[in-house]
């Protein structure tokens, strides 16, 4: 017997949005974490609900997600081998009973097996970048792990073409089960400065004609901030008069911060650099910069590059991973080889000596972000993957028709 329209409407109203669990290493300050928050904020709540399971812990993101009713669970995984966290993960997934789990990067990969054992039938895995200990994704034991768990994964998501090709060519994922979805950025929050740069930093750091070289990100080995510091020290040691305007601003915290501070102190350049640690006002920090530099050894698709481009900044970045897809040499920025402080210094010097070039490249960079890296476009990409796996429930189809 067919349902009446009234009965169909009642069924639709009773059916809850599907629950997606995002399994990540840690919810802390960083581009990857901001990307997840932006994704949740830009997905319609009537389509999908969300929960976040952190292998380690989380910081103050709970307040940002509270209006969305997002539950955040910490598994408190200890350093090294902690087999107990697998049991805690299993229990959390059994309690949540999600429709779909979305794991990310190598640290979350084993969650695919735990999810399968916990009865989660729909499983997605995303690759956002590689770690310091496996920069090119070729380490044998991790290759074996990825290939072993590959049959459990319903669909892969890569944030760059580089990672998409690697998943297909090295991991053996079927091309039709891999989607490349570009990261998105809030081009309203991250906008060009509307007047003179703000006087940030301690007294004496900024001058009227200062040219601020900036970078944002966790200060860990893979981000390689020491190369940027070395390039900066080379420039201010040169006799060129324009280099006396240079200032260095690195926003972020981590184990490499002390090394960079020590390099600057030993060179007697502390008064020309500011490393404030972690900050909550990244848009304002970016608007204090004249040039953004990312010296990473490896990248997936850098959210900080996108935020800098949205702010109207030219970008000097290393020619690794997804950087080569975001930065257009001679058009929006300059690419240099990793661990090449002399070439990085030369690229920075070009922008310092030819300020109009930075203005042109920065305007083009913002236009590129608006055209290709909007948050709604990113959310639509993820929803297409989720919808394909969940087969778009009758409730979802009806809501789409009404919209």
- Structural domains in the chain? 17-184+374-402 (3.40.50.2000), 211-372 (3.40.50.2000)
**Going by C-beta distance under 8 Å and a sequence separation of 6 or more, which residues neighbour residue 278?**
29, 251, 252, 253
pLDDT, average across residues 24-38: 80
Locate 370 and state its tokens.
């608006």
Residue 4's pLDDT is 57
* Stretch (H or E) spanning 20: strand 18-24
Instruction: Give the whole-angstrom CA distance, residue 218 versus residue 294.
Output: 11
Residue 159's SS3 state is coil
pLDDT tens for 377-387 read 999 999 999 99
- Per-residue pLDDT tens over the stretch 233-260: 999 999 999 999 999 999 999 999 999 9
Q: Is the pLDDT of residue 209 over 90?
A: no
Tokens of 305: 């590059």
Residue 275 per-residue DSSP state: E
Tokens found for residue 384 = 């297409």
pLDDT at 93 over 50: yes
Q: Is the dihedral of CA 145, 148, 153, 154 positive or negative?
A: positive
Residue 211 contacts residue 291 (beta carbons within 8 Å) = yes
* DSSP three-state, residue 138: coil
- What's the pTM value of the predicted model, to 2 decimals? 0.86
Q: Please tell me the predicted confidence (pLDDT) of residue 24.
A: 93
Q: DSSP string covering 222-261, please?
A: GG-HHHHHHHHHHHHTS--GGGGGEEEEEE--STTHHHHH
């Amino acid at each position: 017997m067919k349902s009446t329209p009234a009965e169909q409407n009642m069924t639709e109203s009773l059916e809850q949005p599907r629950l997606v669990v995002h399994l990540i290493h840690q919810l802390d300050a960083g581009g990857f974490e901001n990307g997840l928050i932006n994704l949740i904020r830009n997905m319609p709540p009537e389509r999908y609900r969300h929960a976040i399971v952190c292998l380690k812990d989380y910081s103050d993101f709970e307040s940002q997600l509270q209006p969305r009713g997002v539950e955040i669970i910490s598994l408190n995984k200890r350093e090294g081998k902690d087999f107990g966290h697998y049991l805690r993960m299993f229990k959390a997934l059994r309690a949540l009973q999600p429709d779909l789990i979305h794991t990310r990067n190598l640290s979350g990969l084993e969650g695919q097996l735990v999810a399968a054992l916990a009865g989660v039938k729909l499983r997605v895995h995303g690759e956002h970048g590689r770690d310091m200990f496996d920069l090119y994704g070729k380490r044998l034991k991790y290759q074996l792990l990825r290939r072993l768990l590959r049959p459990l994964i319903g669909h892969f998501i890569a944030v760059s073409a580089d990672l998409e090709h690697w998943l297909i060519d090295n991991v053996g994922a079927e091309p039709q089960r891999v989607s490349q979805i570009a990261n998105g950025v809030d081009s309203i929050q991250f906008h060009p400065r509307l007047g003179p740069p703000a006087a940030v930093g301690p007294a004496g750091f900024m001058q009227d004609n200062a040219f601020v070289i900036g970078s944002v990100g966790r200060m860990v080995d893979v981000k390689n901030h020491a190369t940027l510091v070395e390039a900066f020290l080379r420039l201010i040691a040169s006799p060129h008069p324009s280099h006396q305007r240079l200032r260095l601003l690195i926003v972020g915290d981590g184990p490499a911060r002390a090394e960079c501070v020590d390099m600057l102190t030993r060179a007697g350049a502390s008064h020309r650099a500011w490393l404030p640690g972690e900050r909550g006002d990244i848009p304002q920090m970016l608007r204090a910069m004249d040039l953004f530099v990312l010296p990473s050894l490896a990248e997936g698709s850098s959210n900080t590059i996108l935020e800098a481009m949205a702010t109207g900044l030219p970008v000097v970045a290393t020619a690794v991973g997804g950087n080569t897809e975001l930065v257009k040499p001679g058009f929006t920025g300059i690419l240099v080889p990793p661990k090449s402080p002399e070439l990085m210094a030369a690229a920075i010097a070009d922008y310092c000596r030819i300020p109009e070039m930075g203005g042109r490249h920065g305007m083009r960079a913002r236009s590129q972000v608006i055209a290709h890296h909007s948050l709604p476009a990113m959310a639509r990409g993820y929803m297409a993957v989720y919808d394909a796996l969940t087969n778009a429930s009758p409730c979802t189809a009806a809501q789409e028709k009404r919209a």
